Amino acid sequence: MKKVTTKKAPQAIGPYSQAIVANGFVFCSGQIGINPKTNTLPKGIKQQTKQALLNISEVVKAAGSSPDKIVKTTVYLKNIADFSEMNTMYASFFLNQAPARSTIAIANLPKNALVEIEAIAII
């Protein structure tokens, strides 16, 4: 196993890694839409979804993979009513082949974010 760290995505704010590489896979921890340069969370579900996906992309790249090798994501939504807008932004990120996905509505997210996305990719 190998720990993955990049400054191009928000740093872990707890006892976890941004990602772990094991057995040819990259297991990415959930990313919220924090901009790693400004450490701020944008307003709105589309902007937060876009930034969360950009963060996932940077973590996957740091692990030696790429966004087009993401095979599974899990999306956590603070409000299921945001599904359509999240889905629109999500679809624009995965143009070639969308990975398998689960979407779950939950009570709350860190920093009061609207969305958190985790991913699994192949190397």
Which backbone phi and psi does 107 adopt, to 5 degrees? -70, -40
- 46-77 residue pLDDT tens: 999 999 999 999 999 999 999 999 999 999 99
- 74-120 residue pLDDT tens: 999 999 999 999 999 999 999 888 999 999 999 999 999 999 999 99
pLDDT on residue 22: 98
Query: Residues near 11 by Cβ (< 8 Å), separated by ≥ 6?
Result: 5, 18, 36
How many other CB atoms are found less than 10 A from the CB of residue 80?
Answer: 12
Q: What is the pTM of this model?
A: 0.95
Domain that holds residue 17: 2-122
- 41-50 residue pLDDT tens: 999 999 999 9
Pairing of the two strands 25-32 and 19-22 = antiparallel
CATH number at residue 26: 3.30.1330.40
Task: Tell me what percent of the residues of the chain surpass a pLDDT of 70.
Answer: 100
Q: For residues 41 and 52, is the Cβ–Cβ distance under 8 A?
A: no
How many structural domains compose the chain? Answer: 1
pLDDT on residue 12: 86
Structure tokens at 60: 């996957």
pLDDT on residue 13: 79
Q: At how many degrees (to 10) do helices 83-93 and 45-62 cross? A: 40
pLDDT on residue 85: 98
Query: Residues near 36 by Cβ (< 8 Å), separated by ≥ 6?
Result: 7, 8, 9, 10, 11, 55, 58
